[in-house]
Chain A
């Protein structure tokens, strides 16, 4: 029925695609890559065409309005990031591709931020950097490390591209390290440097595997254990000291304990029944700065099992078994005599029986007097 029509349609589309492809991938024309500064104005000439040549400009395949043209040149004012793209100019009548420009709008780099740290003392240290604001175009970084006048190798990190590693050859050096970084892109370049002593950049990773546990039968205690960070290579010769902080979730005020050795501590002043948050930090015993806080551990101190309400008949058996194992609660009120006898069972019947007995005794006494 209508079969030949879709076939013809496909053929036309295929032909159009071929023409566009030929125009875009003309064998003698590879795009000229151009970088321009954000906010600036740029004039793109159409290759070697005369100023008065009749051309049409396109960006990413979309036609551009003729009012942007100055003769055969494309004028773009106040460049924005959205202006980045593939610009092509064609001879107006023949649609012959004259010139292509791959325009990248970006910024020159600002001063990079560089920092170095040794979390693996005494093995070495690493430096990492970043730009405070993006440039939107590719940047290359170059890092040099000087120890006095000696150049040291900074090995690139296998995973992170803005980090490199330096190995200490000598320890206990009085000469400072100077790390310089320069960054450049097509629009400009910048640099910075930092100088430091071996000892000042030592900062371990936070302690690992922080675990907090309640202590059975101790409603105000929490036992905390942790491990030295696995990145610290030699805790025997370079021992770490630790700083523990804890608070109940419902309060903002932290409590602190500094521990000169050991990887365990028992908190003895926890509020009963409140959930706690606990963190630990580490520092070399003598040099450097404290690590960041560890991942938080949560725990609630041990609390006794709540007593269930029971009927009168059951009261003597249940209470007889519990009184022997429980420590008296801190808010023990004065026992009334009824509780002593039946251990917490309802006391009213006992009182009534006492009263009745007394009443009977009084009545008996009164009657004996009367007689």
Chain B
């Protein structure tokens, strides 16, 4: 059972909303966030390859297609097509923020258990980049005036050693963590594309709005 202590993340200081005159708006920071998801996705590809080889077969086989059991607390990127399309900006950003907060926490847990120094180094580097992505999303939310999601009191995730967790099941959890991370990064690229288009200058935004009715 994956569970995590994430107090550090949940108490990130709220970034004040930018209100300077001549402010370019959230556009550049949305672009930056998009670019970060691409960078992370690229980084994850080599990291996941190395880690899955470390786990050994069948996890590193390309046809490995296990049923999704366990790992229920992992944030899932999968979403109904129409629901995804109709997400408002705040919800879209919030879902991304919450997902990466959890994923980062789990990744840090992975790092604690990793056997080789090289793996720990790669994981640590990835965690740092992922932290950067979180900060970037927080920046966009602040620029748009949305509050950062805070956990409800009493539901703060804490680390529990859990019942006797077999080696194989632990590896399955690791497998799903990496898979979910990769899928979230692909989803975020699409999320930020959608946000980018909506933040276009007003004239273009009106045209886009009219066209969007077709979908």
Contact = CB atoms under 8 A, between A and B. Distances in A.
Same assembly: yes
Interface of A: 122, 148-149, 168-176, 178, 195, 199, 233-234, 236-239, 285-287
Interface string B175-190: 0100110011011011
B115 interface: no
Nearest to B68: A175
Nearest to A178: B65
Contact of A236 (B41, B184, B208): B208
Name the 4 nearest CB pairs between A and B, nearest first: A172-B77, A172-B187, A173-B78, A286-B189
Given A237-B193, A237-B197, A171 B65 contact: no
Nearest to B178: A174
B85 to A, nearest CB: 8
B38 A286 contact: yes
B212 A236 contact: yes
B186 A286 contact: yes
Contacts of A237: 85, 190, 193-194, 197
Contacts of A234: 215
Given A173-B78, A234-B215, 17 more contacts: A122-B81, A148-B67, A148-B68, A169-B81, A171-B78, A171-B80, A171-B84, A172-B77, A172-B78, A172-B84, A172-B186, A174-B68, A174-B77, A233-B215, A236-B197, A236-B212, A237-B85
A175 B212 CA distance: 30
A240 B193 CA distance: 11
Nearest to A175: B68
A192 to B, nearest CB: 14
A176 B176 CA distance: 13
A174 B212 contact: no
A122 B84 CA distance: 11
25 contacts: A168-B81, A169-B81, A171-B79, A171-B84, A171-B187, A172-B77, A172-B79, A172-B84, A172-B184, A172-B187, A174-B68, A174-B77, A174-B176, A174-B180, A174-B183, A176-B65, A199-B186, A233-B215, A236-B211, A236-B212, A237-B197, A285-B193, A286-B41, A286-B189, A286-B190
Nearest to A233: B215
B57 to A, nearest CB: 17
B59 to A, nearest CB: 14
B167 interface: no
Contacts of A195: 63, 65
A239 B187 CA distance: 13
B205 to A, nearest CB: 12
Interface string B60-79: 00010101100000001111
Nearest to A287: B186
Nearest to A286: B189
Nearest to B175: A174
Given A149-B67, A195-B63, A174 B186 contact: no
Nearest to A149: B67
Contacts of A170: 78-81
User: Secondary structure of the A side of the interface?
Assistant: loop
Nearest to B211: A236
Given A148-B68, A195-B63, A174 B179 contact: yes
Contacts of B186: 172, 199, 286-287
A280 to B, nearest CB: 21
A285 B196 CA distance: 14
Contacts of B215: 233-234
A122 B189 CA distance: 14
B12 to A, nearest CB: 25
Contacts of B78: 170-175
Contacts of A238: 190, 193
B80 A285 contact: no
Nearest to B184: A172
Interface in B41-68: 41, 63, 65, 67-68
Nearest to B197: A236
B41 to A, nearest CB: 7
Contacts of B208: 236
B207 to A, nearest CB: 11
Contact of B80 (A148, A169, A175, A287): A169
A178 B212 CA distance: 33
A55 to B, nearest CB: 58
- Max chain A Cβ within 10 angstroms of own Cβ: one of B78, B84, B179: B78
A173 B63 contact: no
Contacts of A174: 68, 76-78, 176, 179-180, 183
A331 B18 CA distance: 59
A66 B90 CA distance: 88
Interface in B128-181: 176, 179-180
Contacts of A175: 68, 78
Contacts of B85: 237
